[in-house]
Amino acid sequence: MPFATIDLHPTHSPLTASWLETQLGTMLAVANATALCHLVFADEQPCTIPTQNKISFEVTPLLISLQQELTAYFAGQLKTFTIPLLPLGTPFQKQAWDALCQVPYGETHSYAEQARTIGRPTAYRAVANANGANPIAIIIPCHRIIASNGHLGGYSSGIHRKQWLLQHEAHVTHHAAKGNPQ
């Protein structure tokens, strides 16, 4: 999923925020006029947003679309998000996050596989750190990355959420393969 590339850095434009309800808890979404910058669970540590930004809590078309897509995802009706993304991070982090977006719905890859995908086969720890800094939970699917030994590894939104998301996607994929609705 390509990230927004035009100069939409949040320090240059007003941001809007909204609380969104999901099956896994309340989430905070922060976006500028055209792209989502942050999506985090409310019980996580606060996301870092430059303080010079004007942030207002309001409903915008982009945030309405985000709520609709999250609702469809949790209902098992959406596998690929279309919301434009503008995650803030280093070039390495963005490369790692782009690789996350290539992991198919319902599948898992290891940190080592992700590191190989970005052409840095020995950087699996750096990739894990980049995943931990992912500012857009669920949509940039760091929950699909597990340890090489099959263990879940870490997840900044909580291992219980990672396990739930993986089981949810496996369930939807299994039923789709059988031709059964959920």
Find the angle CA(147)-CA(148)-CA(153) to the nearest 5 degrees: 5
32, amino acid identity: N
CA distance 174 to 22: 22
- The two tokens of residue 158 are 């909580």
The active-site residue out of 37, 47, 101, 142 is: 142
Task: Please indicate whether residue 142 is annotated as part of the active site.
Answer: yes
CA distance 13 to 32: 7
Instruction: Classify each residue of 83-114 as buried b or exposed e, where b means 16 or more C-beta atoms within 10 Å of its C-beta.
Output: bbbbbbeeeebebbbbbbbebeebebbbbbbb
73, amino acid identity: Y
Query: CA 25 → CA 42, 44, 164, distances in Å?
Result: 8, 11, 12
**Residues with a known catalytic role:** 142
